[in-house]
Amino acid sequence: MMTLNELRRSFADLDAAELDRWIDNRWIRPEGRPGAYVFHEIDVARARLVAELRELAIDDEALPLVLSLLDQLYGVRRQMKLLYKAINAQPDEVRRALLVAVRASAAPMDGADADPERGGA
């Protein structure tokens, strides 16, 4: 965990007002109350992400959308990892059957059949 002052010191180009704005906008969500915030590892990572996005000139209006999309992407990634673990825990016969089913389902999405006008995905 990290205090507010420790977090501020870890970002050379970030002034206190900017960090306070990130918290007010709920782009990062530390525990505690103003002036006595505690930042967990995930909060620090989120602050680094916001800083990187700001360096890419993502403005205040677009940043919530970008963060939301990234949150969704990370959520899907976590779900895929869980699914992978669940599939790997299955007997070989079940895993082979799943692989055949996935390949059969994915085949129409490959190439020209993916055209929605012709009934593809």
Residue 2 and residue 52 share a domain: yes
pLDDT at 116: 52
Residue 28 and residue 4 share a domain: yes
At 48, the pLDDT band (50, 70, 90 cuts) reads very high
Q: Is residue 113 part of a domain?
A: no
Average pLDDT over residues 38-49: 94
Residue 32 and residue 6 share a domain: yes
Residue 9 and residue 44 share a domain: yes
Tell me the C-alpha distance between 73 and 79, whole Å.
Answer: 10
Residue 53 and residue 4 share a domain: yes
3-state secondary structure of 2: strand
pTM higher than 0.75: no
Mean pLDDT of the chain: 89
Of 72, 101, 66, 95, whose CA–CA distance to 83 is shortest?
A: 95
For the chain, what is the domain count?
Answer: 2
What residues make up the domain containing 68?
Answer: 60-107
Average pLDDT over residues 82-104: 95
Residue 77 and residue 29 share a domain: no
